[in-house]
């Protein structure tokens, strides 16, 4: 059995550009990998999940896990995010992400340890890159873009900040000697990776999921 525990990216959520709402993609990366490999993934991922939410889901479902099974873990995209409306209302203030980096690393370690205690085989998935300008534009639609820019200084800071969480994930994979599926490189290696992302800059689009599926399939080959 193969399990998947993560956030909306692992779940297969994309932005419907016409309706401007989030929907489940039928041919998501794990669905495509299932078809190509003839495997079954039990996907426990949750839209909007941070690493602490992932721990909650794991603890709630732990009796369902079969020892010796592989579990793919994918977190960080929501943990590094901010409450942008609050920043827009007070751009001179001090604000913290949904999960500060030290807590993110601590909680991720806890999740890995719990997996190992149950004789599961964790596989780490790192963070797809942010399309930072599109992300800023999307956030600015509902919050004050000028005020947020004052707080940020430069839109590329969003990319670097998210990249810091990716580095933590990769460091944990190395620390625990765990295999990793490199979602980040799968998109960055395409050159114009913005074209593989939804207009919100956060979620890979259908073409992006095809690239992520290729990374998953390569992992098994």
Q: Which domains does the chain have, with CATH numbers?
A: 2-220 (3.40.50.1110)
Question: What is the per-residue pLDDT across 48-95, written as a single tens digit (0 to 9) for each?
Answer: 999 999 999 999 999 999 999 999 999 999 999 999 999 999 999 999
Residue 14's pLDDT band (cuts 50, 70, 90): very high
What is the b/e burial string over 114-142, where b = at least 16 CB atoms within 10 angstroms of the residue's CB? Answer: bbeebebbbbbbbbbbbbbebbbebbbee
Closest to 202 measured CA to CA, from 82, 77, 117: 77
The whole-angstrom distance between residue 90's C-alpha and the CA centroid of its chain comes to 28
CB 189 within 8 A of CB 212: no
Three-class SS state of 105: helix
CA atoms within 13 A on the CB side of 23: 12
Q: 105 is written with which tokens?
A: 């690393």
Q: How far is residue 33 CA from its own chain's centroid?
A: 18
pLDDT tens digits along 161-180 = 999 999 999 999 999 999 99
Q: According to the model, what pLDDT value does residue 37 have?
A: 98
- Rounded to an integer, the average pLDDT of 112-139 is 97
Question: Residue 141: what pLDDT?
Answer: 87
């Amino acid at each position: 059995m193969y399990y998947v525990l993560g956030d909306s990216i692992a779940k297969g959520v994309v932005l419907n550009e016409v309706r401007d709402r989030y929907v489940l993609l039928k041919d998501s990366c794990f669905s495509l990998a299932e078809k190509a490999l003839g495997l079954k993934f039990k996907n426990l991922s949750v839209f909007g999940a941070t690493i602490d939410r992932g721990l909650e889901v794991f603890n709630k479902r732990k009796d369902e896990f079969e020892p010796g099974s592989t579990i793919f873990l994918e977190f960080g995209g929501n943990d590094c995010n901010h409450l942008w409306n609050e920043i827009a209302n007070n751009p001179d203030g001090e604000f913290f992400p949904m999960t500060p980096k030290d807590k993110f690393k601590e909680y991720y370690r806890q999740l890995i340890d719990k997996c190992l205690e149950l004789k599961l085989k964790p596989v780490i998935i790192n963070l797809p890159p942010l399309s930072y300008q599109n992300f800023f534009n999307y956030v600015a639609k509902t919050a004050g873009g000028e005020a947020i820019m004052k707080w940020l200084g430069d839109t590329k800071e969003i990319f670097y900040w998210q990249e810091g969480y990716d580095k933590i994930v990769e460091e944990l994979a190395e620390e625990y000697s765990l295999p990793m599926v490199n979602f980040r490189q799968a998109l960055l290696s395409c050159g114009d990776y913005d074209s593989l992302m939804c207009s919100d800059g956060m979620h890979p689009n259908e073409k992006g999921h095809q690239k992520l599926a290729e990374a998953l399939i390569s992992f098994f080959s």
